């Protein structure tokens, strides 16, 4: 138990010691700000403002307190430096309706990763970044969310390629260079083989059902009819590959998943994302004195958007009779014909493929 001794001024000796410790913190901070450092290297007699009649016990206590404060400040400065120089962020590169909600939400719920401003698609129209992928938005996202457990965002190829406005990063090459400079350290790339199933699911998400099937049929004709679907599918592969190559050329490590793997191995994929991000951060910041890296806690699966797609319906039941007839005519006899089976998830072995999405590091 501490001894309490009254002084002439009415303060106890314990209180005096406490006041001197507070003064030490202020003086140490002032010396650090002035460039003198936060450690106390001189003797107690060299410290300005020392009490003239201090006892040996008080002197010992003050030196111990000063040393502890100095050590804590040095450790805080070191830790702060590590956080500031080791931001962490992962980009999920994928078209929509490819189990992206399921994967992203599971990553967030199972690890220290978080979304920018609570939104998976940070750059979507109507999102926090207002459909504007820019250097400032990437830096802001990393500054506010990348230094406390890591940031995770979903970027679709057309978020970048269609952003043809002044001040926006409208090409994948610029986007991923800036993302790398901002502190993003990992790209998770995923492509859904059955592009028709993805497109039908996307259509269902966009349709607002009123009553009856007239509305569905009408919307389906607008969405599918009159388009060269085969050419559109090939262009989507080209856009995706351009983004993958841009990320690789920017020096961002790539982790690949196909749709089938994610839907059957969700927890494993989630853990792999965290582990790959940790490895890439450590590689990028080797010798920096330690980094705050993302952490995996416990897998908590979040299955998204399962009620929007009507998987038990036929193609005509999902997009309307005329639209289904048009799509069937477009794909029959082509390498994409197998996609008419909307339940198929993997490109059939032995089936030719003219446009192949990149599935391993170039």
Q: pLDDT for 257-308, tens place per residue?
A: 999 999 999 999 999 999 999 998 888 775 454 567 899 999 999 987 655 6
Please write the tens of the pLDDT for every residue from 148-179: 889 999 999 988 887 566 667 889 999 999 99
Q: With 70 as the cut, is the pLDDT of residue 192 above it?
A: yes
Q: Which two tokens stand for residue 251?
A: 């020096």
Q: Which two tokens stand for residue 342?
A: 């909307």
Burial track 301-318 (b if 16+ CB lie within 10 A, e otherwise): ebeeeeeebeeeeebbeb
pLDDT of 27 reads 44
pLDDT of 356 reads 97
Instruction: State how far the Cα of 241 lies from the Cα of 56, in Å rounded to an integer.
Output: 73
pLDDT of 83 reads 40
- Is residue 179 within 8 A of residue 250, CB to CB? The reply is yes
Alpha helices in the chain (DSSP H): 13-33, 56-85, 100-110, 135-145, 157-161, 172-182, 195-206, 214-224, 229-249, 259-264, 266-284, 315-319, 321-331
Identify any residues that bridge with 111 across adjacent strands, giving them in sequence order. Answer: 296
3-state DSSP call for residue 359? coil
Mean pLDDT along residues 112-118: 94
Phi, psi of 16 (to 5 degrees): -60, -45
Identify any residues that bridge with 340 across adjacent strands, giving them in sequence order. Answer: none
Instruction: State how far the Cα of 179 lies from the Cα of 190, in Å rounded to an integer.
Output: 18
More reliable by pLDDT, 40 or 90: 90
CA-nearest of 44, 55, 103 to 258 is: 103
Say which residue the tokens 């804590």 belong to: 72
% of the chain surpassing 90 pLDDT: 52
pLDDT of 223 reads 84
More reliable by pLDDT, 18 or 103: 103
Please write the tens of the pLDDT for every residue from 310-354: 677 899 999 999 999 999 999 999 999 999 999 999 999 999 999
% of the chain surpassing 70 pLDDT: 67
Burial of 335 (0-12, 13-18, 19+ CB in 10 A): middle
Instruction: State how far the Cα of 157 lies from the Cα of 251, in Å rounded to an integer.
Output: 18
Instruction: State how far the Cα of 284 lies from the Cα of 62, in Å rounded to an integer.
Output: 42
Mean pLDDT along residues 210-239: 78
Q: What is the DSSP letter of 347?
A: P
Q: Which two tokens stand for residue 308?
A: 């929007």
- Is residue 102 within 8 A of residue 266, CB to CB? The reply is yes
- Displacement of CA 131 from its chain's centroid (Å): 17
pLDDT bin (cut points 50, 70, 90) of residue 205 is confident
Mean pLDDT along residues 98-114: 96
Q: With 60 as the cut, is the pLDDT of residue 201 above it?
A: yes
Distances (CA, A) of 362 to 197, 227, 248, 300: 27, 32, 7, 32
CA-nearest of 161, 155, 224, 160 to 196 is: 224
Please write the tens of the pLDDT for every residue from 21-44: 444 444 444 444 444 333 323 332
């Amino acid at each position: 138990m501490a001894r309490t001794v009254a002084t002439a001024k009415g303060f106890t000796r314990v209180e005096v010691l406490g006041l001197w410790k507070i003064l030490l913190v202020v003086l140490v901070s002032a010396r650090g700000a002035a460039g003198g450092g936060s450690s106390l290297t001189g003797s107690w007699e060299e410290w300005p403002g020392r009490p003239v009649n201090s006892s040996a016990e008080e002197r010992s206590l003050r030196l111990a307190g000063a040393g502890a404060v100095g050590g804590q400040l040095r450790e805080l400065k070191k830790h702060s430096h590590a956080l500031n120089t080791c931001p962490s962020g992962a980009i999920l590169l994928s078209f929509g309706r490819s189990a992206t909600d399921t994967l992203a939400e599971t990553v967030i719920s199972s690890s220290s990763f978080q979304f920018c401003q609570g939104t998976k698609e940070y750059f979507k129209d109507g999102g926090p970044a207002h459909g504007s992928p820019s250097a400032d938005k990437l830096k802001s996202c990393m500054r506010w969310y990348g230094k406390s457990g890591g940031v995770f965002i979903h970027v679709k190829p057309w978020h970048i390629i269609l952003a043809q406005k002044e001040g926006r990063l409208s090409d994948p090459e610029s986007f991923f260079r800036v993302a790398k400079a901002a502190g993003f350290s990992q790209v998770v790339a995923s492509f859904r083989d059955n592009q028709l199933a993805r497109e039908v699911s996307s259509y269902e998400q966009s349709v607002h059902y009123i009553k009856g099937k007239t509305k569905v049929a009408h919307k389906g004709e607008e969405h599918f009819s009159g388009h060269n679907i085969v050419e559109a599918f090939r262009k989507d592969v080209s856009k995706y590959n351009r983004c993958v190559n841009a990320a690789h050329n920017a020096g961002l490590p790539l982790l690949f998943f196909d749709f089938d793997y994610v839907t059957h191995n969700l927890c494993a994929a989630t853990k792999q994302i965290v582990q790959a991000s940790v490895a890439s951060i450590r590689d990028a910041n080797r010798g920096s004195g330690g980094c705050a890296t993302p952490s995996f806690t416990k897998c908590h699966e979040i299955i998204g958007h399962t009620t929007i797609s009507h998987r038990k319906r036929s193609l005509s039941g999902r997009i309307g009779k005329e639209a289904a007839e048009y799509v069937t005519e477009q794909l029959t006899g082509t390498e994409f014909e197998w996609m008419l089976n909307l339940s198929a998830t993997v490109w059939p072995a032995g089936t030719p493929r003219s446009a192949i999405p990149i599935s391993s590091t170039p």
